[in-house]
Amino acid sequence: AAGVIQSPRHLIKEKRETATLKCYPIPRHDTVYWYQQGPGQDPQFLISFYEKMQSDKGSIPDRFSAQQFSDYHSELNMSSLELGDSALYFCASSRRSRAIYEQYFGPGTRLTVT
């Protein structure tokens, strides 16, 4: 079965640079969620989109923004990167329109800020 696709898998950036992470949800899934997981931590919710509209907002810094496109893929844009932004970033998808709330996670993007 098709899974959530994330790209790139690994990304190395310097402080103050920008980064863009991409997420392609499972086919027919309409909701995308972004989570950040620091070393040894549990995933923390950042932001979600349903039918291309922002749905919920968590602990996402103002330096970050995200959107969902007409093909349901999503991009997380991160600017003025800081060392503390180094983490695993996961995208998850679900099919809210069919009341299927299980979230399926992608393999993640490991972001390293130097």
Residues making contact with other proteins (CB under 8 A): 4, 31, 33, 35, 42-45, 48, 55-56, 58, 88, 90, 92, 94, 96, 101-108, 110
| In the complex, least distance from residue 81 CB atom to other proteins, rounded to whole angstroms | 21
Instruction: Choose between 19 and 49: whose C-beta lies nearer to other proteins.
Output: 49
| In the complex, least distance from residue 91 CB atom to other proteins, rounded to whole angstroms | 9
What 8-state DSSP symbol labels residue 25? P
Instruction: Choose between 71 and 99: whose C-beta lies nearer to other proteins.
Output: 99
Torsion of CA 66, 68, 74, 75, to 10 degrees: -30
| In the complex, least distance from residue 8 CB atom to other proteins, rounded to whole angstroms | 14
37 CB neighbour count, 10 Å cutoff: 15
According to DSSP, the residues that pair with 5 across neighbouring strands are 24
CA R_g for the chain: 13
